Amino acid sequence: MQIVEKTGRNKDMAIEEALRELNASRDMVVIEILEDEKEGILGIFGARPAKVRVTLKDDKRKLAGELLENILKYMNIPCNVKLETPGENQATLSIDGENVGNVIGKRGSTLNALEYLLNVMVNKEGSDKIAVSIDASGYRESRVKSLEELSLKLAAKVKDTNKSVELEPMTSQERKVIHTTLKNNTDVYTYSKGEEPYRKVVISAKNKSRGGQGKPSEDGARSEKSGHSNNSGGGNRKRRPSHHDGHGKDNNAGGANGGRKQYAPPTRTAINTAVENLMKATENSASAQLKTPSAPTEN
């Protein structure tokens, strides 16, 4: 931990001098005012400079980048990692390289697993938490556009059939894209159900008279998935869930659609799932390398 003490004509000047020496910004340090400045008589006699102590926080953002590089090396996926700091307590890691497809995985499963585990590892110790986001060759932006198009398509289907539709399990960032896209839709509303990492979005028709149908319960009664309906909701009437679940579980998720991502405490189930996804990705990467023909050797 780096600590410097500096004096200056005033507090701000002393702090700026310390930041220059540490090569850090204000959000990366802890500042203590040891002595306030004193002007003195006529600005000369009895004057006293300000004195500050500036401590560099453990740089978890740098640690996140180093951990990701080591994980990718272990997975035999050579890629370049670039660290960006979009805001306080945030870190964005951008991955680029020839084998970036192996880092992304099916519908971003490997990328999401890496992101989840990095957040767990980086925030394991210390009281200061940061939110780590990982992108690979612009995949996140492309994924957002795909989810927006999908949500509009499914909303039209729900309107026509008056049957709810369940989407596949998604991350909190991806679920928020669906919620935000359909928030002002006059025909449907959205809510999330289930527990991480299997939490999913449900799109349902708003309560409009159509033969007495179209009033799904909170547990997703009358939902439709792969052509099958689910009528397990019973006859009890329940409060219609809003697009943010009524509990805010998806509201704090940013990142995917430009919002500010926040640190979320890990769950054992989500950790296990992330580890399994990474193990599969590592196996796939190793298999791909074994299948690659080697150059012939001369006798």
CATH code: domain 3-56 is 3.30.30
pTM: 0.60
Q: Strands of 223-225's sheet, edge to edge?
A: 188-193, 200-205, 164-166, 223-225, 228-230
Of 10, 49, 3, nearest to 30 (Cα)?
3
DSSP count for the chain of H helices, then E strands:
7, 11
Q: Return the CA Rg of the chain.
A: 26
Question: Strands 164-166, 223-225: parallel, antiparallel or unpaired by DSSP?
Answer: parallel
Domain segments of the chain as ranges: 3-56, 60-139+265-291, 141-230
Of 57, 7, 245, 256, nearest to 142 (Cα)?
256
Intrachain domains 3-56 and 141-230 with the same fold: no
Tell me which architecture the domain covering 141-230 has in CATH. 2-Layer Sandwich (3.30)
pLDDT in tens, the chain (299 residues): 578 999 998 999 999 999 999 888 887 788 999 998 877 665 556 678 899 999 877 678 888 888 999 989 888 888 899 988 766 678 899 999 888 888 898 889 999 989 988 998 888 876 778 899 999 999 999 999 999 999 999 999 999 999 999 999 999 999 999 999 999 999 999 999 999 888 999 999 998 654 444 444 333 333 333 333 333 344 444 444 544 443 345 544 444 444 556 666 666 566 667 667 666 666 665 555 545 554 444 44
Residue given tokens 């219609």 in the structure block: 240
pLDDT given for residue 232 in this prediction: 37
Which residues, listed in sequence order, are joined to residue 223 by a DSSP beta bridge? 164, 230
Report yes or no: 263 and 89 within 8 Å, Cβ to Cβ.
Answer: yes
pLDDT given for residue 155 in this prediction: 98
Structure token digits, residue 127: 């009281």
Spatial distance between the Cα atoms of 224 and 239, rounded to a whole number of angstroms: 20
Report yes or no: 273 and 281 within 8 Å, Cβ to Cβ.
Answer: no
CATH superfamily for domain 60-139+265-291: K homology (KH) domain (3.30.300.20)
pLDDT given for residue 244 in this prediction: 45
Q: What is the three-state SS of 120-166? A: HHHCCCCCCCCEEEEEECCHHHHHHHHHHHHHHHHHHHHHHHCCEEE
pLDDT given for residue 37 in this prediction: 81
Of 148, 144, 218, nearest to 182 (Cα)?
148
pLDDT given for residue 28 in this prediction: 76
